[in-house]
Structure 1
């Protein structure tokens, strides 16, 4: 999404929740989001967190994982190396916990992907799309046009030559013309794509366009704000939506959706 790139290379305003202890090292992703609000570290805790505005510091222990130039994973029998370019592209070019948890879920065999037509929305680093491809899917990996150079390089460097023709990397603007994607997909994947409220109507429109009554939609996310839950409410008006996996250590939930039938 375009707001992923609205970040200054030299200085960012961070929003840090004080007095809360969240398990994941990713618990301050909201620090670099353009919209400020209150984050739920625990769905069972309704207490108002204390907020403080502080200058972004790349040496912060919590954020240091994003300053690593590379991160390493092992999925679908393959060693993967994902380059991170935080200083160049900001939040679009790092690996978030929601993507890792979704990859773990897919790699465990919970979703039938072999020979399925799969699309990943808001791919960022492309990790989820890479893993889906390795698991046998015919994969379309998408993000904004400006993200494609980084995304394409990351995907191509992690998928062996014998996977050529099994995946494509394409630009997909949720606000744009969706006719380049005319056929419904078997599976739609999204990791941490529901945190910007202004995109919710367009995201839902995109998911509706890409799906039919047989399509399975998997959304992996951390609910940081009340507005994030609002998207799930919007989606549940059109899709039967179920919580299917909760990673308590990383505060990540995976939801599964399927279009309602009349």
Structure 2
């Protein structure tokens, strides 16, 4: 996640990102997230991709979360991981780079009921680094919202997704397709995963892709 502060000279269309909080209703819970654009930039605001992902998880119902072990990559405010826990995931690991963890943990504590807090872990994860701290193929569901945007991170992001998932895991990515580099990432992803678009939010221009890891090659 790019932890980039921004100054106050922003376009009016982005003004909601500078609010100190954002509120939603998911899984019969009011979810209130603190935002801090000035301190942490893009990592500390709720982007449309996260909202669309949560709507997909709750309303479309094609992915079963109950009893599953999930991980969110580049979590930012933690909305997707929080909603995954509220929807019944057995264990949720919500990750981002170290500077965002205190902020992220506060949002988790604010929105996860006390009796469920033990099932949610906030953890540092820089893509491609320290992956041995996470069980190889140990997650049923890997979630990422608006994490496909820095081309330099694509190889390490793919490496991380491969490490965390098994051939029975489901990877869900919510993103805009803004530039050629985004299409290039999908091409890279398809070399290692079977990839299908499972949802498109026309109003917000958000795509959701489902990826399943390809079987390991066994040379004859």
Q: Same fold (TM over 0.5)?
A: yes
Q: State which of 155, 175, 183 in structure 1 corresponds to 2:108.
A: 155
Q: State which of 135, 142, 145 in structure 2 corresponds to 1:182.
A: 135
Contact (CA 8 Å) 2:92, 2:119: kept in 1 or not? Answer: yes
Counterparts of 1:164 and 1:152 in 2: how far apart (Å)?
Answer: 11
Q: Give the unaligned 5+ runs of structure 2.
A: none
Matched, 1:171 2:169: no
Q: State which of 194, 202, 206 in structure 1 corresponds to 2:160.
A: 206
Alignment of 1:32-181 (within 5 A): 57-58=9-10, 60-108=11-59, 109-137=61-89, 138-181=91-134
Please name the residue that 2:3 is paired with. 5
Q: Give the unaligned 5+ runs of structure 1.
A: 11-55
Counterparts of 2:163 and 2:35 in 1: how far apart (Å)?
Answer: 31
Q: CA RMSD in A?
A: 1.1
Counterparts of 2:5 and 2:12 in 1: how far apart (Å)?
Answer: 20
1:167 shift after superposition: 0.9
Counterparts of 2:21 and 2:114 in 1: how far apart (Å)?
Answer: 22
Contact (CA 8 Å) 2:4, 2:42: kept in 1 or not? Answer: no
Please name the residue that 2:171 is paired with. 217
Counterparts of 1:127 and 1:159 in 2: how far apart (Å)?
Answer: 11
SS of equivalent residue, structure 1 residue 57: coil
Structure showing greater radius of gyration is 1
1:164 shift after superposition: 1.9
TM-score by length of 2: 0.94
Deviations 1:165-220 (A, max 9, x none): 11100000113120000242100000000100000000000000001110000000
SS of equivalent residue, structure 1 residue 115: coil
Please name the residue that 1:195 is paired with. 149
SS of equivalent residue, structure 1 residue 186: strand
Please name the residue that 2:189 is paired with. 235
Please name the residue that 1:259 is paired with. 213
More helix by share: 2
1:7 shift after superposition: 3.1
Counterparts of 1:67 and 1:239 in 2: how far apart (Å)?
Answer: 36
1:6 shift after superposition: 3.2
SS of equivalent residue, structure 2 residue 110: helix
